[in-house]
Amino acid sequence: MTFGDECKEAILKGDIGLAEKLANKTVNEKLDLNEAIDAFSLAIREAGDLFEEGEFFLPELMRSAEAMKAAMEIFDPILKEGKEDRYLGKVVIGTIEGDIHDIGKTLVASLLSADGFEVHDLGADVPVSTFIDKAIEVDANIICISALLTTTMLGQKRLIDQLKEKNIRDKFKVLIGGAPISKTWVDEIGADGSAENAVSAVKLAKSVLGI
């Protein structure tokens, strides 16, 4: 069985112990971290497909997500290691209100922080006003809004609309992301960009700040 197959087994079976063991193996044996994160991410998406096809029920999907989060918690300190001396800009990030999906958002937050951004992670199910208040409070350069549901992605638009109403749209770059987000949606709501994964999200954050 390949390492990728093992990651898939851990996630699809919702085996938290195995997920942690594989994550620890990646860290201790200095295996390729990005490859491991990709393998886990692929597996959790497969769990989502099984859920959509009716093969998986919600408790099984939740168990898979818990296994995924357990692995990510082991990767998190490694992702953040040793890069605190650089300072690229301030980011406020969260998953929009009504939406509890936080795995992808947390991955983006970890990689931004690893690359030298000061990251204020507000968590999941975050009201629009909390994003805006925090961005003003810390004088953020970028607001990152994650949404995984076609219903909650409307909150990304609400946030941008409120920035416009308050006449502070130009103060912040607004990046959006999550599985349902398309280029058309970015243009429609007037966001500054989106990215399909955490590595591209970091590149995008740098490019919108001209770094």
List residues binding ligand B12 (CB under 6 A).
41, 44-45, 47-48, 51-52, 58, 61-62, 65, 98-105, 107-108, 144-146, 148-150, 175-180, 194-198, 201, 204
Residue 74, SS3? helix
Minimum distance from residue 189 beta carbon to ligand B12 (Å): 13
Comparison of 105 and 157: residue with beta carbon closer to ligand B12: 105
Q: How far apart are CA 180 and CA 178, in angstroms?
A: 6
What's the gap between Cα 201 and its chain centre?
9
For ligand B12, the closer of residues 18 and 108 by Cβ is 108
| Tokens of residue 148, six digits | 């995984």
Nearer to ligand B12, 89 or 104 (CB): 104
Closest residue to ligand B12: CB criterion: 104
Q: Least separation, in Å, of the C-beta of 109 and ligand B12?
A: 9
Torsion-angle region of 143 (φ positive above 0: left; ψ -120 to 50: alpha; else: beta): beta
Quote the strand ranges of the chain, DSSP E.
Answer: 89-95, 117-121, 142-146, 173-177, 193-194
> Shortest Cβ distance from residue 162 to ligand B12 (Å)?
17
Q: What phi, psi does 100 have (nearest 5°)?
A: -100, 5
CB of 211 to ligand B12, least distance (A): 15
